[in-house]
Amino acid sequence: MSEVNTRGGAGHDTATRRGFFGRIALFVAQVLDELRKVVRPTREELITYTTVVMVFVIAVMLFVAALDYGIGKLVFWAFAGS
């Protein structure tokens, strides 16, 4: 017969046996492992992404400014009369 882990899941025993600093060391090791998996963009990709973001932000700024200007004129016309 195989043994059944009744403590709540895989790896639960090892996590409870670690002390405070052991858990911190495990966390740091896991963070470093995940950072090794990160794929960094090339210089060309970074420039392309930055350009796309800047163009989008400027377009949204212009849209919001035009909307603000139009609503301001409409409110001024409604309350000032001229």
Residue 18 in contact with residue 26, Cβ under 8 Å? yes
User: How does residue 12 score in pLDDT terms, banded at 50, 70 and 90?
Assistant: low
Distance CA 60, CA 7 (A): 53
Could you tell me what percent of the chain has a pLDDT over 70? 79
Tokens representing 12 are 């639960």
In one-letter notation, the amino acid at residue 48 is T
Q: How far apart are the first and last CA of the chain?
A: 90
Query: Using CB atoms within 10 A of its CB, is residue 59 exposed (0-12), middle (13-18) or buried (19+)?
Result: exposed
User: How does residue 2 score in pLDDT terms, banded at 50, 70 and 90?
Assistant: low
